[in-house]
């Protein structure tokens, strides 16, 4: 084939498209590639779309094959098609290698005259002089290089460079996903003994083997999993009911008498109702159901099919209707899933719970004893989902969404490696045996640690460090007691609020808090007042903010809604009557005014209750140190309360400007950052000056390396997940305070968190505690 056959004429290449049309074409290319069924189709759409839009004579895409240390020409137009898939370049070879090395665009007037030019006669690129190559980068990883070429001996315009760079950045995610799917298909076809490995972030430690169960979200149509049905008529009935329910909603909206509704609005809602009741949509879905698919996946495919028909239309108005189809489809899907879930979902033994954005509520919905592991498409090890998973001692993987469509994992046999943040799909027997060995090592370590159960958390030089547990559900209590918890250092009262559809009454809260306090009496129990906001939302009390972590949350909501706050405080004080083991902790304190106002309300509630019951007493009050402002005012806060409690999760987040739920910046989150250590030193010093104990209740307290530094800092007590209690007790019983202080001194001389962690891990290994930091090893 002659590559000149499809080459644009030189005058066409020079003319170009207007900026507006280029932007529209950019969006169209991104959209088309996102819907491509496989990698080859995606790359073909890219080169054809770029060539037509930029009106260049050649366009090609080289992808990195790191396993074999070269780049492969995967798609091209304007070059010899026979070399596609076969032409390979070393990682530093040619102009493609130059773009890859520089990781920025290379724009040349005369490519053959450049020192890095590598002539490849069979490629068909001899006539070209102008060269523009841009790297394809996804989350810092180089996926490949995108190239356009022209016969004219001149550089490409800056607008062309900007267009190609923009397109490469927007397509990187789609290319990464297509690569992941391609790797899955290839590896599965090659051998069943070498299962696919998917990488994410380590959320909660441990090894789990089980069956994937996807929790569906109507907001992500593409994530609805494929499932079979053996009762198509019941599925069709669910679909019909969902359609009628949604269409009736649109009818009601069209008939409302609101003054703000225009005739155009009413006509739009009537049109939406007609689309929802469309016979084409219903018949396409029922055909798929009768072919053996459950209703949600049948509706998914029908909606996507219809929306793509509109997206392919040339008319802009009709093309925009594709969004309407998708929006209506999401409403239908939400109702259909509600219909489907009226029956209890099937959770097999050893269920691996999977979802794009799982919540703590999803974990608690799994029947007792059936939850083996968790895979979430988003979030990090510091999200409340991961925190709850650690509390339940369930391995968890976070932020897997960039690597695979999670719906593909539904019903599959999986291994979850919570230490490495990896998922193994349909593992062969050799790999299963290896992970069974690791599970045995875990079991042996647990048995060895059990010997510490009745021993105090005391250093060899006699320093007692009480170990408390973090909890949020009644189911946590017995587990915590069985692990030897000396009390509850943090009870997250918001979790019971999150599993309801309305605020609990004072009596309901009283009954709950009484159970918690009685279970641990006389050991102390620290109840934190309601701390919603951020990633802890109440469906019945929505808070919509652009930046929720810097917004209306914690004590701020309580003070703006004293009726909610006082109801909870009254329930806590009543529950403590006759027991006396309540500590009350106030979250998100950033101003002394907020603390003063909260104390006034607590005193008021206490005095009112004391008039009715002599057993009511004022509990010990504590303030959470979790924002930088509280660090700098630790002295002022300490004068007002009985104790300080450092929440390292939020404190680290705010000090380092790292969203702890954002997987893109997870590598910047580290409680051993020198700034965090210096903040902890400042808080501990303030506590000593005022004779007020300082505790740490964040997830860092369960990290052996961090716990070692906290011992050196003179922190009075630690509160951590129940599964970490005996591990941290081992650390405390191994190191003297003097040894820990010496390690703290070494840490303060280091400038990087990674260096500090390496130094502390060496100390743990040298002391014989290597099993805590190298899971799966017996020494």
Token duo for residue 631 = 């660090």
**Active-site residue flag, 697:** yes
pLDDT for res 778: 43
Q: How confident is the model at residue 634 (pLDDT cuts 50, 70, 90)?
A: very high
Query: CA 667 → CA 284, 427, 673, distances in Å?
Result: 46, 28, 12
| Catalytic residue selected from 384, 424, 479, 673 | 384
Q: How confident is the model at residue 192 (pLDDT cuts 50, 70, 90)?
A: very low
The per-residue pLDDT of the chain, averaged, comes to 84
| pLDDT tens column, 211-225 | 988 876 655 676 677
Q: Are the beta carbons of 683 and 634 closer than 8 angstroms? A: yes
Measure Cα distances from 62 to 19, 180, 288, 460, 653 in Å.
27, 16, 38, 61, 39
> What pLDDT score was predicted for residue 404?
60
Among 59, 216, 645, 697, the active-site one is 697
What is the predicted pLDDT for the residue at 245?
A: 86
Q: What is the pLDDT of residue 33?
A: 79
CA dihedral 356, 359, 360, 363 (to 10 degrees): -40
Query: Between residues 536 and 50, which one has the greater pLDDT?
Result: 50
What is the arithmetic mean of pLDDT over 485-508? 88
Mean pLDDT of 39-46: 85
- The fraction of the chain above a pLDDT of 70, given in percent, is 86
CA distance 357 to 243: 26
Instruction: Report pLDDT for 484.
Output: 92
Is omega for the bond preceding 246 within 30 degrees of 0, making it cis? no
Please enumerate in sequence order all residues whose Cβ is within 8 A of that of 118, keeping only pairs 6 or more positions apart, or say none: 89, 93, 94, 95
Give the pLDDT mean for 30-52. 81
Strands of the sheet containing 141-150, edge to edge, are 88-90, 70-77, 58-65, 141-150, 130-138, 106-108
Cβ count near 247 (within 10 Å): 20
Q: Tokens in use for 632? A: 């700098």
Q: How many Å apart are CA 275 and CA 259, to the nearest integer?
A: 25
Pairing of strands 130-138, 106-108: antiparallel
Can you list the positions of beta strands (E) in 472-581?
Answer: 488-492, 525-528
């Amino acid at each position: 084939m002659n590559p000149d056959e499809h080459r644009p004429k030189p005058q066409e290449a020079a003319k170009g498209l207007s900026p507006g049309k280029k932007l529209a074409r950019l969006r169209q290319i991104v959209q088309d590639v996102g819907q491509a069924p496989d990698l080859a189709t995606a790359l073909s759409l890219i080169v054809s779309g770029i060539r037509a839009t930029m009106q260049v004579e050649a366009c090609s895409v080289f992808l990195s094959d790191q396993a074999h240390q070269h780049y492969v020409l995967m798609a091209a137009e304007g070059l010899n098609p026979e070399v596609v898939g076969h032409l390979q370049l070393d990682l530093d070879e040619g102009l493609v290698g130059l773009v890859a090395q520089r990781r920025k665009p290379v724009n040349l007037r005369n490519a053959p005259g450049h020192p890095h030019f590598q002539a490849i006669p069979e490629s068909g690129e001899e006539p070209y002089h102008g060269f523009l190559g841009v790297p394809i980068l996804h989350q810092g990883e180089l996926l490949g290089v995108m190239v356009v070429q022209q016969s004219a001996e001149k550089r490409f315009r800056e607008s062309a460079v900007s267009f190609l760079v923009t397109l490469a950045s927007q397509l990187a995610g789609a290319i990464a996903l297509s690569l992941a799917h391609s790797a899955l298909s290839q590896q599965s076809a090659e051998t069943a003994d070498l299962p696919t490995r998917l990488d994410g972030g380590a959320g909660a430690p441990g090894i789990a083997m089980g069956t994937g169960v996807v929790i569906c979200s109507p907001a992500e149509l593409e994530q609805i999993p494929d499932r079979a049905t053996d009762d198509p008529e019941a599925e069709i009935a669910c679909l019909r009911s969902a359609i009628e329910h949604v269409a009736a909603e649109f009818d009601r909206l069209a008939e409302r008498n609101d003054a703000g509704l225009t005739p155009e609005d009413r006509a739009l809602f009537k049109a939406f109702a007609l689309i929802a009741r469309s016979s084409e949509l219903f018949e396409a879905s029922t055909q798929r159901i009768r072919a053996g698919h459950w209703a949600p996946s049948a509706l998914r495919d029908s909606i996507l099919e219809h929306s793509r028909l509109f997206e392919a239309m040339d008319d802009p108005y009709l093309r925009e209707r594709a969004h309407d189809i998708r929006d209506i489809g999401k409403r239908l899907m939400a109702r259909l899933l509600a219909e489907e879930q009226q029956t209890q979902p099937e959770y097999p033994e050893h269920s691996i719970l999977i979802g794009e954005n799982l919540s703590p509520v999803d974990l608690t919905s799994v029947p007792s004893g059936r939850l083996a592991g968790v895979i979430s498409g988003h979030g990090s090890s510091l999200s409340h989902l991961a925190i709850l998973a650690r509390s339940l001692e369930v391995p968890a993987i976070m932020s897997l969404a960039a690597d695979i469509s999670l719906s593909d994992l539904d019903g599959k046999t999986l291994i979850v490696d919570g230490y490495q943040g990896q998922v193994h799909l349909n593992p062969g027997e050799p790999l299963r045996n290896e992970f069974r060995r690791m599970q045995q090592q875990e079991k042996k370590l647990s048995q060895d640690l059990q010997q510490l159960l009745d021993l105090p958390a005391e250093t060899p030089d006699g320093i007692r460090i009480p170990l408390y547990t973090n909890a949020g559900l009644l189911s946590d209590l017995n587990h915590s007691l069985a692990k030897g918890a000396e009390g509850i250092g943090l009870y997250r009262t918001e979790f019971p609020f999150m599993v309801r559809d309305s605020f609990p009454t004072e009596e309901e809260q009283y009954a709950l808090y009484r159970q918690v306090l009685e279970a641990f009496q006389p050991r102390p129990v620290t109840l934190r007042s309601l701390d919603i906001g951020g990633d802890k939302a109440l469906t019945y009390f929505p808070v919509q903010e652009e930046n929720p972590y810097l917004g209306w949350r914690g004590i701020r909501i309580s003070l703006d809604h004293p009726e909610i706050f006082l109801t909870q405080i009254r329930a806590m004080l009543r529950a403590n009557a006759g027991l006396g083991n309540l500590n009350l902790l106030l979250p998100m304190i950033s101003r002394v005014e907020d603390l003063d106002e909260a104390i006034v309300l607590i005193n008021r509630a206490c005095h009112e209750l004391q008039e009715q019951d002599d057993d009511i007493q004022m509990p010990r009050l504590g303030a959470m140190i979790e924002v930088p402002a509280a660090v700098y005012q630790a002295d002022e806060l300490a004068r007002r309360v009985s104790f300080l409690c450092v929440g390292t999760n939020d404190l680290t987040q705010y000090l380092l400007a790292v969203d702890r739920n954002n997987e893109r910046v997870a590598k910047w989150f580290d409680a051993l950052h020198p700034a965090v250590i210096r903040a902890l030193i400042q808080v501990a010093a303030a506590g000593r000056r005022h004779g007020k104990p300082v505790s740490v209740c964040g997830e860092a307290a369960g990290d052996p390396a961090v716990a070692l530094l906290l011992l050196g800092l003179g922190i009075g007590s630690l509160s951590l997940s129940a599964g970490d209690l005996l591990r941290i007790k081992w650390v405390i019983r191994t190191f003297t305070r003097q040894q820990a202080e010496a390690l703290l001194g070494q840490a303060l001389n280091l400038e990087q968190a990674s260096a500090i962690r390496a130094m502390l891990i060496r100390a743990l290994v040298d002391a014989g505690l290597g099993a805590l930091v190298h899971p799966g090893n017996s020494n």
